[in-house]
Amino acid sequence: MGTQLELVWFDGEIIPSEEANVSVMTHALHYGTAVFEGIRAYFDAGELYVFRLEDHMRRLVDSARMLHIECQYSVPTLVSAVPSLLRGMGLRTSVYIRPILFVGVGGIQLDYRKHPKHLAIFAYPFSGYFRKSGLRVCISSWRRVSDESVVPRAKAASNYLNSSIATIEAKLAGYDEAILLDTHGHVSEGAGENVFLVKDGIVCTPPVYSSILEGITRDTVISLANDFGITVVERPIQRSELYTADELFFTGTATEVESILEVDGRKIGNGEPGRTTRQIRDLYMKVVKGRSSKYRRWLTKVYGQKSGKLTRANLDSSKGS
């Protein structure tokens, strides 16, 4: 990240980052027993807007529930924590926000249900995930994790080892990113992104049962496309369909909406970002920066509203709710 963070929300308190320490015996460090979220906040015209904050926190709690990781904080408490942290840090630039709920010290037993759980939230300035626009990708030799072995619908830390080895494989081969297939050989998702295909004016994306993570950016793009008369179909997608697509693009919190220009050495369309991709990306960026009143419900203002300072007393009162 380049610079040391000043503040972290840790187990209900905003504290200096150097005080947010965990033991090397932390269960999550050894077994990946953690769930997390990636959230963006965009600074525009003097205001910092957190995008779909409540939806992200609900997914965090849902992911934890699927994995028997108890979250002791309510969604409203987590939602209120983020603007307080950002204000406390005085951030007035676009940022990435990472809440993580993890299993603490409790021994080496694989049954971690009675182990202590911890929740941290940190944030740092962030402008973009990929260093360039327009990506060259490959189909990974690794298959996406499936419901037959783990829980791909949970945003679990352990699932991202699958993503990491796929990304490294792609970069060693000279590509920017990987696309993984599911266990049935259908397109699943990118290493950290959902995939969209455009063919003959129809936008398609893999369904939930193709072992995808139900991306919040994916949901946003589907909603925006539908509102503007662009047909979106959720269906299984064959690998070969990618090669003959008119357009391909990734979506994700960190990625936003990013064009895919080449797959496995095959140029997509004319090798330039397509009209539909550009239209969706432009609309998405307008929405996340608060420039569309129609979608203000998705935004949480950091500086444009008053809220009480988080205290140990009011945080404890919301635990378990």
Taking only the tens place, the pLDDT of each residue in 267-317 is 999 999 999 999 999 999 999 999 999 999 999 999 975 544 444 434 444
Separation of alpha carbons 290 and 292, rounded Å: 6
Q: Residue 155 has what DSSP assignment?
A: -
Average pLDDT of the residues in 47-65: 98
Helix (H) or strand (E) holding 259: strand 256-263
Model confidence pLDDT, tens digit, residues 1-54: 444 458 999 999 999 999 999 999 999 999 999 999 999 999 999 999 999 999
- What is the predicted pLDDT for the residue at 307? 45
Active-site residue list? 155
Separation of alpha carbons 228 and 26, rounded Å: 48
Which tokens in the block code for residue 93?
């630039």
- Identify which has the larger pLDDT, 128 or 66: 66
Separation of alpha carbons 299 and 281, rounded Å: 17
The fold for domain 7-127+298-312 equals D-amino Acid Aminotransferase; Chain A, domain 1 (3.30.470)
Average pLDDT of the residues in 57-66: 98
21-29's contacts with Cβ under 8 Å and 24+ in sequence apart are 22/104, 22/118, 23/104, 23/105, 25/105, 26/102, 26/103, 26/104, 26/105, 27/102, 27/103, 27/104, 27/105, 27/106, 27/107, 27/112, 27/115, 28/102, 28/103, 28/104, 28/157
Band of residue 131 on the pLDDT scale cut at 50, 70, 90:
confident
- Judge whether 211 and 197 are in contact, CB under 8 Å: no
Which tokens in the block code for residue 37?
């979220």
Does 64 have pLDDT greater than 80? Answer: yes
Residues of CATH 3.20.10.10 domain(s) within the chain?
135-273
Residues of CATH 3.30.470.10 domain(s) within the chain?
7-127+298-312
Q: Round the average pLDDT of the chain to a whole number and report it.
A: 93
**CATH number listed for the domain at residues 135-273:** 3.20.10.10
- What is the predicted pLDDT for the residue at 321? 40
Helix (H) or strand (E) holding 172: helix 160-172
Our measurement of the distance from residue 228's CA atom to the centroid of its chain's CA atoms, rounded to an integer in Å, reads 24
